[in-house]
């Protein structure tokens, strides 16, 4: 008999905070665990028309496999804020700074080459992707120039005043995350789950692959910010 580590009444954000690799199971099933992280597992799988037992079994199997190996994953629930921030900037922000401009070129290229056979879809992709790119680039700058230094300052010199400013900043930051999440959902819809049409060439395939990678990385990125870092800061404010 399998020991149950997860239950359907747990929130998605809570599951991924406890077991980061659960994100893989959610992503494979297109379950949004970052912006929709406060839904219960039961509710989220129902929306997708999947049985909760199926997902729970996958989570349990992955968890057991993971536990039997030596884990190098950091527990972000107890890590220093400055370490979480450095990780976000060096991994997720660095990824976007490289991939957004590279993918922009691909998106323009396939729009031109496939304008005749797939112009309707690709015009939407072009528009949505460029909106996403502009918003995320602005968002990264705001985090790196304003928000993250504020959190690092708080870690060095904790005060109620700075925690209040952080709490205000969290609201705006999470609104921007929701906006990015919505554009990614739209992109997935207009591309029919990134299904390459029969006329699509290798560049077409590569472009959709890149878009899916951006989606996956952004979900992990927003999860780490919303459900781990912001959540801890919110709790600190409540407990003051």
- Residues contributing to the site for Fe ion (CB under 5 A): 143, 225
Among 32, 9, 22, residue whose Cα is nearest residue 60: 22
Taking the least distance from each CB to Fe ion, the nearer of 52 and 225 is 225
Taking the least distance from each CB to Fe ion, the nearer of 43 and 152 is 152
Taking the least distance from each CB to Fe ion, the nearer of 169 and 225 is 225
Nearest approach in angstroms of CB 56 to Fe ion is: 30
Taking the least distance from each CB to Fe ion, the nearer of 143 and 231 is 143
| DSSP secondary structure, the chain, as one string | -PPP---TTSBHHHHHHH-TTHHHHHHHTT---STTTTSBHHHHHHHHT--HHHHHHHHHHHHHHHHHSPP----TTTS-HHHHHHHIIIIIIHHHHHHHHHHHHHHHHHHHHTHHHHHHHHHHHHHHHHHHHHHHHHHHHHIIIIIHHHHHHHHHS--HHHHHHHHHHHHHHHHHHHHHHHHHHHHHHHTTTTPPPTT--HHHHHHHHHHHHHHHHHHHHHHIIIIIIIHHHHHHHHT-
Chain-centroid distance of CA 88 in Å reads: 12
Nearest approach in angstroms of CB 48 to Fe ion is: 25
Taking the least distance from each CB to Fe ion, the nearer of 225 and 231 is 225
Among 64, 67, 50, residue whose Cα is nearest residue 1: 64
Nearest approach in angstroms of CB 115 to Fe ion is: 34
Nearest approach in angstroms of CB 142 to Fe ion is: 8
Nearest approach in angstroms of CB 87 to Fe ion is: 11
Nearest approach in angstroms of CB 210 to Fe ion is: 19
Nearest approach in angstroms of CB 226 to Fe ion is: 8
Taking the least distance from each CB to Fe ion, the nearer of 32 and 225 is 225
- How far apart CA 35 and CA 13 sit, in angstroms, is 9
Taking the least distance from each CB to Fe ion, the nearer of 215 and 225 is 225
């Amino acid at each position: 008999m399998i020991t149950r580590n997860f239950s359907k009444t747990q929130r998605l954000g809570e599951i991924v905070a406890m077991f980061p690799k659960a994100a893989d199971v959610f992503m494979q099933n297109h379950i949004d665990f970052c912006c929709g992280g406060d839904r219960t597992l039961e509710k989220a799988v129902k929306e997708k028309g999947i049985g909760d037992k199926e997902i729970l079994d996958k989570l349990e199997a992955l968890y057991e496999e993971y536990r039997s190996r030596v884990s190098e994953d950091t527990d972000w629930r107890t890590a220093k804020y400055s370490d979480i921030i450095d990780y976000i900037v060096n991994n997720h922000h660095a990824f976007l700074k490289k991939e957004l401009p590279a993918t922009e070129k691909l998106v323009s290229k396939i729009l031109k080459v496939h304008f005749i056979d797939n112009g309707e879809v690709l015009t939407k992709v072009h528009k949505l992707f460029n909106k996403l790119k502009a918003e995320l680039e602005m968002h990264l700058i705001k985090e790196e120039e304003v928000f993250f230094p504020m959190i690092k300052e708080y870690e060095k010199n904790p005060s109620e005043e700075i925690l209040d400013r952080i709490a205000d900043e969290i609201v705006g930051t999470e609104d921007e995350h929701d906006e990015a999440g919505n554009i990614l959902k739209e992109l997935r819809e207009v591309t029919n789950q990134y299904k390459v049409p029969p006329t699509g060439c290798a560049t077409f395939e590569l472009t959709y692959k890149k878009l899916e990678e951006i989606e996956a990385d952004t979900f992990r990125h927003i999860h780490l910010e919303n459900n781990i870092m912001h959540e801890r800061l919110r709790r600190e404010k409540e407990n003051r």
